[in-house]
A and B are shown apart, each in its own frame.
Chain A
Amino acid sequence: MALRPITVTQLNEYIARVFESDVLLMDIAVTGEITNLKHHSSGHVYFSITDENSKINCFLASSYANALRYELADGLKVIVTGKVNVYKKGGYYSIFVRSLTVSGEGDLAVAFELMKEKLAKEGLFSPEHKKELPVFPRKLGILTSDTGAAVRDIIKIIRQRNELVDIYVFPVKVQGEGAAEDIASTLDRVNEKRQDIDVLIVGRGGGSREDLWAFNEEVLARAIYRSEIPVISAVGHEIDFSISDFVADRRAETPTAAAEMAVPDIGEMLRYISDLRDDLQKQLSSKLRYDSLRADNSLKALRDGMVKYLDDRLALIEKMKIMLEGNDPYRIMERGYSVIEDQEGKAVASKEDLKDGEYDIVFRDGKVRVRISHV
């Protein structure tokens, strides 16, 4: 008997009902490589995933797209989870994607580079934006898992160096779905409520690239960028680079390196200031010695000057004495000469001046009063 024809709509609706009643199709995970990726202005994302021989379209609603943990690109191998949906109008089916993870190590590397490029272009890594770490923090915050080894190591290293800083631990998820959001929101709340904290260490211990992925996610990168409090990013081991390393104010290769970077070593500081104190004392005493030396010198110079002055004077007097003596009129009497002086004591130089009267004759050893007459 001939089939009774049904309408296209009825057919598509029937097919849709069949799909919706199939538990598997309603919650499925599919792996494939992304092709013809399109970001719609509405925020929805359209792409297909393929394997060697077939393809299926995918639809990522904007609400899910915002929570995406990866930057998508054609060629990226992904695992999508969601439900297979029949588009009745068009008579085709596609996957309504609820979540997406990048699977291959290589693909994670690709996704990392994509995210790095995107945020770099926006200037989230710009050096000018980076803040200086406080030289002498009083309060330090740590955002990491409170169960892992990282937090213990960080606290141990800090306390070895610095007994003085207050340490505040803010436990966060450091791995898997929702970790990046958890860290980001905690970071925002610490910035809002605890502006007394001087520096923050955000990170975790080692792990696989997937384990560390939270620190490559955009939501955390933006929260770190927003942070007013300087952030040291300390993710995994030396070789692990994360997006938060690029955004943070400083990158520490490991959590323990972050501890060393964050707080000054009190012992070293004590040595430093006591060296300065010794310097003060040394400089002062050398200056005092130098000044007293200079004072001595000037004193000595003064004394020498005086002595010299006196000597000069004596020498001068001596010389004058000799000169006087040299010209001493009476000196000649030593050799038998004598001098006749009148009553005023003036020497009579010529016989013409001699008149009758009293005169003195001066010998080397004294005077004799004489009377002269009949000149």
Chain B
Amino acid sequence: MFEEDLKKLDEMVRIIRSEETTLDGALKAYDEGMKAYESCRKVLEETKGKIEVSDGKDI
């Protein structure tokens, strides 16, 4: 889900920024962050929405 990936990306940046994060913690955060970024980008760039007008009473 897009929202979850977005949240994950934010979280990974928070982790990688924090002083306590060790080097391998940073590496792990980087990998997961990039994966989350990729899936967000794919959703934003690929899906196309449609437009439908329901005629009158059938919904």
A residues with CB within 8 A of B: 135-136, 146, 155, 162-171, 186, 189-190, 193-194, 266, 269-270, 273-274, 276-277, 279-281, 283-284, 287-288, 291
Contacts of B6 in A (CB 8 A): 136, 273
Once the chains bind, are B23 and A155 in contact (CB under 8 Å)?
no
Query: Closest A-chain residue to B38, C-beta based?
Result: A277
Q: Give Cα A273–Cα B3 distance, bound, in whole angstroms.
A: 12
Contact of A163 among B12, B34, B48 (CB under 8 A): B48
Interface string of B21-59 (1 = CB under 8 A from A): 101001101100110010011011101111111111001
Once the chains bind, are A189 and B59 in contact (CB under 8 Å)?
yes
Once the chains bind, are A194 and B59 in contact (CB under 8 Å)?
yes
Instruction: Given A287-B16, A287-B26, decide whether A169 and B9 contact each other with a Cβ distance below 8 A.
Output: no
**Chain B binding site: helix, strand, loop or mixed by DSSP?**
helix
Once the chains bind, are A276 and B13 in contact (CB under 8 Å)?
yes
Once the chains bind, are A279 and B48 in contact (CB under 8 Å)?
no
Query: Closest B-chain residue to A134, C-beta based?
Result: B3
Contact of A166 among B23, B26, B49 (CB under 8 A): B49
Once the chains bind, are A170 and B59 in contact (CB under 8 Å)?
yes
18 contacts between A and B (CB under 8 A): A155-B51, A164-B44, A164-B48, A166-B49, A166-B52, A167-B49, A168-B51, A169-B53, A171-B55, A194-B59, A270-B44, A270-B45, A277-B33, A280-B29, A280-B37, A283-B26, A284-B27, A288-B23
Once the chains bind, are B16 and A169 in contact (CB under 8 Å)?
no
Once the chains bind, are A280 and B23 in contact (CB under 8 Å)?
no
Q: Give Cα A272–Cα B47 distance, bound, in whole angstroms.
A: 18
| CB of A280, distance to nearest CB on chain B (Å) | 5
Once the chains bind, are B2 and A276 in contact (CB under 8 Å)?
no
Once the chains bind, are B54 and A169 in contact (CB under 8 Å)?
yes
Once the chains bind, are A283 and B2 in contact (CB under 8 Å)?
no
Contacts of A283 in B (CB 8 A): 13, 16-17, 26, 30
| CB of B45, distance to nearest CB on chain A (Å) | 7
| CB of A190, distance to nearest CB on chain B (Å) | 6
Contacts of B54 in A (CB 8 A): 168-171
| CB of B41, distance to nearest CB on chain A (Å) | 6
Q: Give Cα A5–Cα B12 distance, bound, in whole angstroms.
A: 102
Q: Give Cα A136–Cα B43 distance, bound, in whole angstroms.
A: 11
Once the chains bind, are B37 and A276 in contact (CB under 8 Å)?
yes
Q: Give Cα A186–Cα B54 distance, bound, in whole angstroms.
A: 11
Once the chains bind, are B26 and A284 in contact (CB under 8 Å)?
yes
Contacts of A280 in B (CB 8 A): 12-13, 16, 29-30, 33-34, 37
Residue among B12, B26, B29 with most chain A CB within 10 A: B26
Contacts of A279 in B (CB 8 A): 13, 16-17
Contacts of A166 in B (CB 8 A): 49-52
16 A-B pairs besides A166-B52, A280-B12 with CB distance below 8 A are A164-B47, A164-B49, A167-B51, A171-B53, A171-B56, A193-B59, A194-B59, A269-B40, A269-B44, A273-B9, A273-B44, A274-B37, A276-B9, A276-B10, A277-B9, A283-B13
